[in-house]
Structure 1
Amino acid sequence: MRLTAALVVVALTAAGVALWLSGAGAEVAYWAARQQRAFQDVIAAAVTKLRSGDGAALWTLIGACAAYGVVHAVGPGHGKVLIGGAGIASSGTARRLMGLALISSLAQAATAIVLVYGGFLVFEMTASRAVGTVDDLLAPASAAAVGLIGLWLAWRGLRGLVAARPVQVRDGDAPHHHHEAGRGHGHHHAHAHDHGPGCGCGHAHAPSPEAVEAMQGWRDGAAIVAGIALRPCTGAVIVLVLAWRFGVPLAGIAAVVAMGLGTAAVVVAVAAASVGVRRSALTATGRGSRAARYAAPALQIAGGAFIAAMSGAMLAASLV
């Protein structure tokens, strides 16, 4: 069964990496880039009209930024990789992961606002330096952080495989209550059995796979949000720079929040789909079966390995 679990890990990870390397990701990225350029023209025109006093242009700006966020999220990105991989690797519910996806997207928008407006007000940062900070510093830092999260998830999956492995022990090796029978003293009943999580004998020599997956759940959520929020969208930075230069900073904030919600719409869908894939895989093994004990940590390794592999590719691209 451990061989089957290992094959599942290899197959899932290899399929994801092969899809990325096949050029499918590049085609999607090219399409998304063309759409984003089209929306950038609409955004620039809306900001110009806002400066001249056209209040209706605000809704055009917000709508264009929301659509920009959607097409931006459709292309390859660290947010979808992390959320999707976490959905495969984590035992969390779809609602929890979808909530993390929403919070992460809005946190990305907040990072862009703090970087640009904070940089302009406090450090007198130039527009080119703001964009350069995102591309040259925050992009590789975020990719590295996401990769570390993936490795951590994979390591926890390995621990889960170890915890799921039955261990041959003897009941006599553990303390039992002594019973008196006539003049006799206490005695032990000694027999060997497969001892593992849920074996029913009442002894806990190793944590169950479920316990390993559930460890430090709030820390996992915080790590996911931080890993995604660390790298704000370059488009959001450009919108904020334009809004600042044209004297409509509040409109820029509203537009970037709308962009974050557009991004969230796609990432939330990825979260729901990834949790569905995980549940289907676990159901196929049969709940409560010995195979299911191995399937859960195997999926965790596969999800973590996928995140680490994809983040490694993004890190390499950001350093070129």
Structure 2
Amino acid sequence: MKKLFGTDGIRGVINEELTPELAMKLGNAIGRYYLGKYNRFIIAKDTRNSGDLIESAMAAGAASAGMNVEFAGVIPTPALAYITKKENTLGAVISASHNPAVYNGIKVLAKGMKISDEDEVEIENLIIDNPYHYTVFSGVGKIRQVDHYRDEYIDYVVGLYKREKLPSKGIVVDGANGAISTVISMVYESLGIKADLRGIKPNGININDGCGSLFPEYLGNSLDQGQIGVLFDGDADRCLFVLPGSRLIDGDMLMALNSIKMVSQGRLKGNRVVATVMSNLGFEKYLTSRNLVLDRTKVGDKYVLERMLKTGGVLGGEQSGHIIFLDRSS
């Protein structure tokens, strides 16, 4: 049974539950466990003021085990998923998702996916049974900053949608003062989308502070008719919509809408959508009425993705706004 990893990595109050010591132990265990399988470890983070602290500790631990480390800077979790898949390597995102800045966390990814439960157990066992093991001096890993990963992700997203007919007005974005703030202006400008961008001025403390996916009223109460709000969380791996009057469009609704569009495009393989046991019964009835199947799995976007890979599904997600279009990215 796992003791450190939850459904979305390791998470806790900074310097109380998630300490530099734990981050260094984790980095060292990751380096030992994956050394030889992957040639480098890419670390990304959101905008929390504790990100530098945890990043440095993890990097020291991994390099001391012989793993080369790259700092990708502040980028969304989907950006790191794209990069680790493209580069066929290992990574971690330092983020506590929708939680305020007093929390931080660590999600470990390999080739675009969160690592398996089995790998998490093995890494925990290394931390508990043998917290540190250092390589000889000649095998110490190198640590370097890599700035081009963000631009690669922006280019990828723009390339996906540059031929699509996209709305040029009426969009209001809440960036939660998080990681989306480093990419959204450039993506929207490249696609010709003129949006009112809010919550994109992080200061290290204001991430998810009365804004973001948990606070739809922050935008919803100020929207005019004809406008739509787009809500992100701290690391931008979930997205919800909100309409005037703070009417929330959750992940189930977004998957329902996208399922019909993907059928019309010939993209919805097997006429199947993967969601969790938490998804609304109304969502299932909606799909059934359109001869589509809802395939449920346990809570956690990693389990949704595992189920999609097993069944060949291309659309899946959670009510909270984690949505996966597997023919586009993981």
TM-score (norm. length: structure 1): 0.23
Higher percent of residues as helix: 1
Considering only CA atoms, is the larger Rg found in Structure 1 or Structure 2? 1
Higher percent of residues as strand: 2
Higher relative contact order (CA 8 A, sep 6+): 1
TM-score (norm. length: structure 2): 0.22
